[in-house]
Amino acid sequence: MNTQFPHDPEPVDDGAPSAGESSPPGAQEPDSAIPPRAPAPASRPASPDVEPDAPQRHATLRDYAESLLVTVILALFGTTFVVQAFKIPSPSMEPTLLVGDHLLVNKFVYGGRGNWYDRILPYRSIGRGDIIVFKFPYDDHIHYVKRVIGVPGDRVKIVDQQLHVNGALVEEPYKVHDEAVYDPFGWNFPPTTRYYPAGNVRPEWRAQVLDFVERGELVVPPNKYFVMGDNRDHSWDSRFWGFVDRENVMGRPLMIYFSVEATSDDYTDRSLKGRAAGFARTMAHLPAQTRWSRMFRTVR
């Protein structure tokens, strides 16, 4: 932004006699005395060491304010439509994602909604095996991260911890099981009768799960997704509370931009005080607890 600065006036000869001069003989004195005009001071050369005058200072502050406003608008646009940061507070996706991993999530990749311009934008469909971040369908709609197991139209079945989709056995190199845990409901899914252990099953899902069961398989309805955690025996997922609605999918994790040694207890207190205390603990032990090898790792 160019700012025009005021310049000192040039000396102007107005014809008045200077101090000490006398009027020539015979000259008529004016009716009233007019004081002589002092000569204008010489213009001072510009110097980089000179403090900027008020107009320049005001312009600079205005430029800073405009730049800050543009930055805030772009940041809001980016976190709303393009990318957003999340952290992992539970072990349900181990070993793929660990407690204390901080993710950048691509919110743009699944943006297509069937419009004509979707074909020219880099959108893609949600596929089996994708890791997604989504809003939990109940309670306060907190964000969950799980792996997509079934897409609309798929027939899902788990027999003795082995996943079958559309009648075929699925190899899952990313999953882990805990031999110390016995979960007959999660290991053999879906139920075929209304008499089954339902300790961790959401009441809403318990009342309707059999409506989606055909010939011993769970059929995923339109615009819904069946998801599970990679840490199968320590994951509360679609087996226990139902499907993920398409509209609740936030995006897909891009990369781990930061990771710190942590436990689920560190993220239990979600109050402002609890978060501040957790942040203080992390900063106090930052170098020692940082998982440097996980930083900038892509998520698959």
Q: What angle do CA 244, 247, 250 make, to 5 degrees?
A: 85
How many helices (DSSP H) and strands (DSSP E) are in the chain?
6, 13
Continuous segment of H or E residues that includes residue 220: none
Q: How many other CB atoms sit within 10 Å of the CB of residue 119?
A: 8
Token couple for 233: 């025996």
Q: Which pair of structure tokens corresponds to residue 89?
A: 């507070």
Could you tell me which of 133, 102, 125 has the C-alpha nearest to residue 252? 133
Q: Is there a contact between 268 and 149 (Cβ–Cβ < 8 Å)?
A: no
The helix (H) or strand (E) run that includes residue 31 is none
Other CB atoms within 10 A of residue 89 CB? 20
Distances in Å between the alpha carbon of 245 and those of 2, 111, 135?
54, 14, 9
Polymer length in residues for the chain: 300
> Does residue 47 carry a catalytic annotation?
no
Distance CA 102, CA 257 (A): 6
Active site includes 92? Answer: yes
The C-alpha atoms of residue 166 and residue 155 are separated, in whole angstroms, by 5
Cβ atoms of residues 145 and 93 within 8 Å: yes
Distance between CA atoms of residues 208 and 203, nearest Å: 9
Of 107, 146, 175, 224, the active-site residue reads: 146
**What three-state secondary structure class fits 89?**
coil
Tokens of 131: 């890791």
Active-site residue among 92, 235, 238, 259?
92
Q: Distance between CA atoms of 132 and 128, rounded to whole angstroms?
A: 10
Q: Which residues are catalytic?
A: 92, 146
